[in-house]
Amino acid sequence: MQDRSHLLTEQRLAQSVDLDAMDLPAAAALMNAQDAAAVVAVNTAIPQIVQVIQMAADALAGDGRVFYVGAGTSGRLGVLDAAECPPTFRTSPDRIVGIMAGGPAAMFAAQEGAEDRPDDGASALAAHNVGPADLVIGIAAGGTTPFVHGALARARQCGARSAFITCIQETAHDPPVDATIRLLVGPEVLTGSTRLKAATATKLALNMITTLAMVRLGKVYQNLMVDLRATNQKLWDRGTRILCTLTGLDRAAALQLLRQADGHVKAALVMHRHQLTLEQARARLEACGGQLRAALEG
């Protein structure tokens, strides 16, 4: 059994040694103050996060995929981020994939011991036929999760690019990867409970990776989610408002335009700017690599 007492995530926070004796306002204020460390840690790691954003954008711009691999809270955060991409950016669910130790059931109930098997991590990647076009991002707040290490080792064997997100200092056991994001938030208010600020910092980093990768891929124009297709009332409303904002049309005219574009905001904008049919607008977007700014200009 490995002694993990030297890791930052396993150390005790001096300010919370009397947590059980604190009154609730003081305890809540302490947790809130400690949560601020997550933002600082992410800011410090921005150069490495940018590296991973570019790797993700490169993979997704071609035939590659992005895989998040983790266990427990770290795994759930990866699965969550992957699951949020299709409705936000209209990506295919098989382009950004969350893999969790213990399988889908572990999202809702802890699968104790599932994280301790490196071969399972390797097998999970093998099941997805991971190859050189792909990016594998291992997430392990405490840094030592065998499932994650096994997956990252498999990624290298397959020629895939790889990254590691962790909340501990550099150790001799760090996995060999193309980029490491260290979110050094320090000890938790509740010792060892990395579902707290370590998880907060991880979620912030994942938000950056997928959001800015999608911006690079043309899923965003200005700061608007233009690569959406209206499929429910909320999205019809949002799409209509985006068209109003960018075209100056009134709401009724914008909604009519969106209907003519079969609910596709990007296509509607190109149709309006260049007075094209839906088919012509789609062809123009394709010729511009899906980049709306390029399709609108020129």
pLDDT tens readout for residues 36-72 = 999 999 999 999 999 999 999 999 999 999 999 999 9
List b or e across 83-113, with b for residues whose CB sees 16 or more CB atoms inside 10 angstroms.
eebeeebbbeeebbbbbbbbeeebeeeebee
In which residue are the tokens 């570019």 written? 54
Say yes or no to pLDDT of 4 above 80.
no
Structure tokens at 286: 């394709």
Options 84, 112, 170, 188, the catalytic residue: 84
**pLDDT score recorded for residue 110:** 78
Amino acid residing at 162? S
CATH level 3 topology of 233-296: Helicase, Ruva Protein; domain 3 (1.10.8)
pLDDT at position 1 over 70: no
Let me know if domain 8-216 sits in CATH 3.40.1190.10: no
Ordered by start, the domain boundaries in the chain are 8-216, 233-296
Q: Does residue 294 carry a pLDDT above 80?
A: yes
Chain centroid offset of residue 28 CA: 28
Tell me what pLDDT residue 22 has.
96
Q: Length of the chain, please?
A: 298
What is the predicted pLDDT for the residue at 31?
97
CA 152 to CA 72: how far, in whole Å? 17
pLDDT at 228 over 70: yes
Residue of 115, 170, 286, 297 marked catalytic: 115
Cα–Cα distance between 100 and 106 in angstroms, integer?
7
What phi, psi does 99 have (nearest 5°)? -120, 130
Residue 115 falls in the annotated catalytic set: yes
The predicted model gives 234-255 an average pLDDT of 96
283 CA to centre of own chain: 30
134-168: per-residue pLDDT in tens?
A: 999 999 999 999 999 999 999 999 999 999 999 99
Res 255: pLDDT:
97
- Residue from 29, 5, 6 nearest 19 by CA: 29
Annotated catalytic residue 84: yes
Question: What's the pLDDT score for residue 18?
Answer: 95
pLDDT digits (tens, 9 = 90+) for 169-178: 988 889 999 9
Q: Evaluate if residue 87 carries a pLDDT over 90.
A: no
Percent of the chain residues past pLDDT 90, beyond the cut: 85
Q: What's the pLDDT at 5? A: 63
d(CA 184, CA 191): 15
Query: Where residue 112 falls among pLDDT bands split at 50, 70, 90?
Result: confident
Q: Which residue has the tokens 């049309």?
A: 249
Whether pLDDT at 183 is above 70: yes
Local confidence band at 96 (pLDDT 50, 70, 90 cut-offs):
very high
